[in-house]
Copies of this chain bind each other. A is one copy, B any other.
Amino acid sequence: MADGRGWGWGEEAHAVELPPHALAFLRETIGAGDVRRSPVALDDVRLPPVALGDRARGRIAAVVGAEHVRDDREARVRHAAGRGYPDLVRLRSGALETAPDAIVWPGSHEEVVELLSTCAQERVAVVPFGGGTSVVGGVEALRGDCAAVIALDLGRMDALLALDERSLTASFEGGLRGPAADALLAARGLTLGHLPQSYEYVSLGGAVATRSAGQASTGFGRIDELLVGVRLAAPAGELELPPRPPSAAGPQLRELVAGSEGVLGVITRVDLRVRPVAPWRYEGWACRSFEEGVEALRALEQHGCAPAVARLSDEEETRLSLALAGSGGLAARAGRLYLRVRGRAQGCLVIVGWSGEPAEVAQARAAANRILRAHGAVALGSPPGEAWARGRFRAPYLRDALLDHGVMAETLETAGQWSGLTALHDAVRDALRDALGARGAAPLVMCHVSHLYPTGASLYFTFLARQQQGSELEQWRAAKHAASDAIAAAGGTITHHHAIGVDHAPWMAGEVGETGLELLRAAKARLDPQGIMNPGKLLERGASAPAA
């Protein structure tokens, strides 16, 4: 991330500490929490030497202005990695094997075009860098077979270019961040409605490049459903697709740009649907079991009355949420919740979020509540919902706090058809338990459903385990491979919204077939014949192939 804490998430002002009861819980459940590990200071981070030659640097500076090129330690560290677990392990240890040789801030589409052409001539790899929040290695400074690598930071390209209030579409430069976009739209009573957990840092171009879902995808649609036009600058051409409603003019090329993760080019403009600002209302429900909860959500979605936000925690996630809430801060609310959920035995927490004009919401909510009750769910009122909404962007800070105490905290996600969803859930949970247990660090594995579709839903797993000091990355790799193999075997997608990056690349052929991969490579060969765009991501099998 270009901002804030160089070794973790966001800003120091929002850092959290684990309270004593949480540490006690971790000690009891996974035998962890007793150590204290601090990240190394920025000045102590070891970086590879700068490999960018003077001529190339001079040509790049001539395109964007010398003041928009940096290669100092701070800029390099801040652009060296995303915020996946392996990134955090490396950043905290201070041992960065890769870092960009320079960071470049172009100011316009035209500058990006010229910059990419220059880099292609100079054999300099380009890593497009938006919010820098990738959790799958998407912004790792890999150079492929190039001589050097730069991070192309889109931070200066943050304008609202056009707003069509009748068509409810807006055109933004690719580097604009979520909150800034919403602030610009708010002046006209509009909002984007795209709320990934990385909302505070995500760039709109990055969201499109990674097919971000957003916590309100059930109601508002994923970013690829909001996308109505796009502009891509590539080393060997430009793709200009103006905002348009659906069409039958051949294959939909927008869909080739969405999810392209920087390997085809740089997204300089996104045209997105916008919507009127409307009040939110969050509520909690308790279901008797995960299976019953899944059936309730399926019914909501297939009857067309799902709320904008719909989340169902499994038994383990529900139990952990209540345990971590403990007797501190959130005690009053969490306590009430806890008691009511206990009445549901091994209950599961559901959070729903409604957005819209009160009269419209009242109608939809009444229909949804009937369905929830028919599936055995019990209303918990607004406190659990409001508590979730307040804390919705805080989980990455909690992960940093867990790392401070030697706890591996990692997330991964998939999606599958409704008919196989609970089997997919069980297969991934069991794979994680087995893989980490076999290494002597039995984990807590929890999961929630958080994005509903008529045909299926997402599963988002969080797992906690005692870090194996000195072999943190091997431990992570064992868990990641086991979970990914289990996902593939159970017919889930290898990623619902985190994207492919480096981490999921070994499973990409299983997802789209060798022919599918070759079609994407054919597109890349056309747009990026020198292969300078984001090497090592999405299309390359990576260092370690999956288990057969």
Contact = CB atoms under 8 A, between A and B. Distances in A.
A516 B210 CA distance: 20
A454 B190 CA distance: 14
Q: How many copies does the complex hold?
A: 2
A511 interface: yes
B513 A519 contact: no
A409 interface: no
Contacts of A249: 259, 493-495, 499-500, 504, 508, 511-512
B212 A248 contact: yes
A357 B417 CA distance: 25
A238 interface: yes
Interface size class of A (residues with CB under 8 A): 35 or more
A363 interface: yes
A250 B538 contact: yes
A109 interface: no
Contacts of A525: 522
B417 A245 contact: yes
A418 interface: yes
Contacts of A360: 303-304, 367
A514 B526 CA distance: 12
The winner among A165, A246, A256, A512 for most chain B CB atoms within 10 A is A246
A497 interface: yes
A418 B165 CA distance: 9
Contacts of A534: none
A500 B247 CA distance: 10
A38 interface: no
Interface stretch (A86-94, A124-132, A166-174): A166-174
A237 interface: yes
B523 A167 contact: no
Interface string A436-467: 00000000000000010111111000000000
A433 interface: no
Given A245-B415, A255-B251, A363-B363, A238 B515 contact: yes
